[in-house]
């Protein structure tokens, strides 16, 4: 089920919310938790029920491994072996459903086997619930997590606000909240903050991201005809679309969760304000960064290894970050580009040179923007065509109305003609892009707005306008980008 749908907002959520608190009010805590799990399975299966058994199977498998790990702490049985079995099981599931066709394509490319592709539909949220459970197993083996109740474990994995696209939570930061007595009653401050977050997220998704999506898609569908301005508009549209889409979804997830008095970790902290690439990864998809840092980079030795080993650790981690996002080489290239940038930054930090803040921001933002081109493009050649356009190698075309101002530049190859219209853009694109860019760079992010919310008439009026405007555009439902990952 989509957060940005009438079915979720006006039916599923109110019913789930009301029944949960009624049951809690009657001290039926177990029933309340069971209800939430049931609702979460319904939420998951609403889209395509055939993958509900997959989610259930994965949950039971990991619960069994987790329980064994808890017991092995008390008995002389190797927890390391159990952990390896658990991780291998999870990764096998992911390998089959997400990467099988990628493997086959690559085997076919380097051999004459010509194996048939399986065309497996990617089960929703598989990357997220698999990683959540891998983290749980590792934490259990380390002794920092422990869950003996199947009901609690099922709730931890399936809690619907974060089931499909995260945030990737740790057991110990979420589950104690369900047991806190104060969280079993309706909390109006949390409701006000939750509604604020949810509707800000909905607005970001429905009004901003979906509008930008039209232009980004048009650009990436016509990579052959992008001159300088079009190429920049295409890449910027996607850069902003991705941020508003994903952070919008996360806001809705955090908001919905807060209505149940459960605080999920924030996932975005104005990432495009970052001054360095390292800061970017501390602000972008923060729970995924944390996962890769704690469960891949640090176990590889992190920064506590000989200097020459650090770049290898960073690149290996970001190779996996790229691969996690999608079964394709363009994602791997994107991941490695970020890895290289972090390696460069690692060595730059050791020099005495420091750039002015504005220059740092320009470099960071432009690097991130250019790297997203590989992330979005269908093929490597599509990506290079957009990048060629961005550096002016496919020519520069200005709107006819500027012909009087720049006539002299015609001799240097500057052309005048229909700019942007060939791929469905209008002058509105510029203003919309600029406004959404400024909102991302200069405004407080939605988490801070919700955190500092004061229940005033002006805040209520603003939120009413935002929510009504977003709801009035709900009929044009688009999926979230991260559903593909």
Partner 1 sequence: MNYKTFSVIILCVIFVYVLTIALVNIVVDPFYIFRTPFLKLQAQRNDRYAKIEYLKKENVKYNFFILGSSRMYYTRPDMLEKYIPSGKGYNLATIMANVTEHLLHVRYLIKNGQPLKTLYIGLDIDFFFRVKTYKDQDYLLKLHPDVSNTNPIAFYWSYLSIIPKGDIKRKLKANFGKKKGRKIQLGKDGAVGPEVENRQIFFDNQSKLKDIIRDKKGRENLEVLRELVVLCNQNNINLIIFTTPHHRIIMDHFLEEEYLAFLKGLSEVTSFWDFSGYNSITTDDRNYFSFSHYTPSVSRLIAARIFDDKALHVPKDFGVWVTKDNIDAHLKDLKGSFKKTISYNKEGNHLIARAS
Rank residues 323 and 459 by Cβ distance to partner 1 and give the closer one.
Answer: 459
How many residues form the binding site for partner 1 (CB under 8 A)?
A: 24
Give the helix ranges, DSSP H, for 186-285: 188-203, 210-221, 228-259, 277-283
Q: Which residues contact 276 (CB under 8 A, 6 or more apart)?
A: 345, 360, 364
Q: Does 224 bind partner 1 (CB under 8 A)?
A: no
Of 434, 429, 419, the C-alpha closest to 389 is 419
Q: Cβ of residue 259: shortest distance to partner 1, in angstroms? A: 10
Q: Which of the ranges 32-40, 48-56, 341-349, 470-478 carries the binding residues for partner 1, by CB under 8 A?
A: 470-478
What is the DSSP code (8-state) at residue 117? P
**Of the candidates 53, 299, 417, 455, which one interacts with partner 1 according to CB under 8 A?**
455
Q: Which is nearer to partner 1, 6 or 348 (CB)?
A: 6
Rounded CA gap, 275 and 349, in Å? 13
Q: Is residue 459 part of the contact set for partner 1 (CB under 8 A)?
A: yes
Catalytic residue among 119, 325, 338, 346: 325
Q: Distance between CA 365 and CA 344 in Å, rounded?
A: 16
Question: 305-324 burial, b for 16+ CB within 10 Å, e for fewer?
Answer: eeeeebbebbbebbebbbbb
Among 224, 303, 472, 484, binds partner 1 (CB under 8 A): 472
**71 is a catalytic site residue:** no
For residues 175 and 58, the answer to whether their CB atoms sit within 8 Å is no
Q: Tell me the window of 242-250, 261-269, 425-433, 458-466 that interacts with partner 1 (CB under 8 A).
A: 458-466
Of 74, 75, 114, 188, which lies in the binding site for partner 1, with binding defined by CB under 8 A? 188
Does residue 399 sit in helix, strand or coil?
strand
What residues contact 418, with CB distance under 8 A and at least 6 apart? 397, 400
CA dist 137 and 129 (Å) reads: 12
Q: Which residue has the tokens 């999608």?
A: 326
Q: State the nearest-atom distance from the C-beta of 147 to partner 1, in Å.
A: 33
Smallest distance, partner 1 to C-beta of residue 453, A = 8
Contact 374, 334 (CB under 8 A): yes
Q: Residues 428, 468, 479, 484: which binds partner 1 (CB under 8 A)?
A: 468
Cβ atoms 165, 125 nearer than 8 A:
yes
**Which is closer to partner 1, CB of 15 or CB of 477?**
477
Q: Choose, by CB under 8 A, the member of 65, 192, 209, 332 that binds partner 1.
A: 192
Residue 220 CB, nearest approach to partner 1 (Å): 17
Task: Note the residues at the interface with partner 1 (CB under 8 A).
Answer: 6-7, 10, 188-189, 191-192, 195, 199, 455-457, 459-460, 463-464, 467-468, 471-472, 474-477
Active site residues: 325
């Amino acid at each position: 089920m989509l957060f940005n749908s009438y079915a979720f907002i006006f039916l599923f959520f109110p019913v789930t919310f009301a029944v949960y608190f009624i049951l809690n009010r009657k001290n039926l805590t177990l029933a309340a938790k069971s209800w939430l799990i049931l609702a979460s399975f319904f939420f998951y299966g609403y889209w395509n029920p055939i993958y509900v058994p997959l989610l259930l199977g994965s949950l039971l498998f990991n619960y069994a491994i987790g329980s064994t790990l808890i017991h092995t702490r008390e008995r002389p049985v190797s927890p390391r072996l159990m952990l390896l079995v658990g991780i291998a099981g999870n990764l096998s599931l992911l390998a089959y459903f997400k990467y099988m066709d990628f493997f086959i394509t690559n085997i076919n490319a380097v051999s004459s086997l010509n194996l048939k592709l399986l065309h497996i539909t990617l089960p929703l949220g598989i990357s997220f619930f698999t990683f959540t459970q891998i983290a749980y197993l590792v934490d259990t083996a380390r002794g920092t997590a422990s869950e003996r109740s199947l009901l609690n474990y099922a709730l931890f994995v399936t809690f619907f606000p974060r089931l499909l696209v995260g945030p990737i939570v740790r057991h110990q930061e979420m589950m104690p909240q369900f047991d806190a007595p104060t969280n079993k009653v309706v909390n109006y401050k949390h409701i006000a903050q939750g509604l604020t977050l949810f509707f800000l997220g909905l607005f970001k998704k429905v009004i901003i991201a979906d509008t930008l999506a039209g232009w980004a898609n048009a650009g990436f569908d016509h990579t052959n005809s992008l001159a300088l301005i079009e190429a920049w508009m295409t890449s910027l549209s996607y850069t902003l679309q991705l941020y508003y889409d994903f952070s919008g979804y996360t806001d809705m997830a955090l908001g919905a969760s807060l209505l149940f008095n459960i605080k999920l970790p924030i996932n975005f902290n104005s990432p495009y304000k970052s001054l360095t690439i390292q800061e970017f990864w501390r602000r972008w998809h923060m729970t995924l960064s944390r996962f890769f840092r704690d469960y891949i980079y640090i176990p590889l030795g992190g920064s506590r290894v000989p200097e020459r080993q650090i770049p290898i650790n960073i690149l290996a981690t970001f190779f996996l970050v790229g691969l996690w996002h999608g079964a394709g080489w363009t994602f791997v290239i994107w991941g490695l580009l970020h890895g290289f940038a972090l390696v460069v930054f690692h060595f730059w930090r050791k020099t005495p040179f420091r750039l002015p803040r504005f220059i740092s921001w320009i470099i960071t933002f432009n690097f991130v923007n250019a790297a997203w081109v590989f992330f979005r493009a269908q093929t490597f050649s599509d990506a290079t065509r957009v990048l060629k356009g961005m550096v002016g190698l496919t020519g520069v075309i200005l709107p006819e109305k500027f012909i009087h101002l720049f006539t002299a530049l015609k001799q240097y190859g500057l052309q005048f003609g229909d700019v942007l219209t060939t791929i469905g853009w209008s002058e509105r694109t510029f203003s919309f892009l600029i406004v959404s860019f400024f909102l991302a760079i200069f405004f407080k992010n939605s988490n801070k707005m919700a955190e500092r919310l004061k229940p005033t008439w002006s805040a209520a009026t603003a939120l009413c306008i935002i929510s009504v405007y977003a709801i009035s555009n709900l009929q044009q439902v688009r999926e979230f980008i991260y559903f593909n990952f």
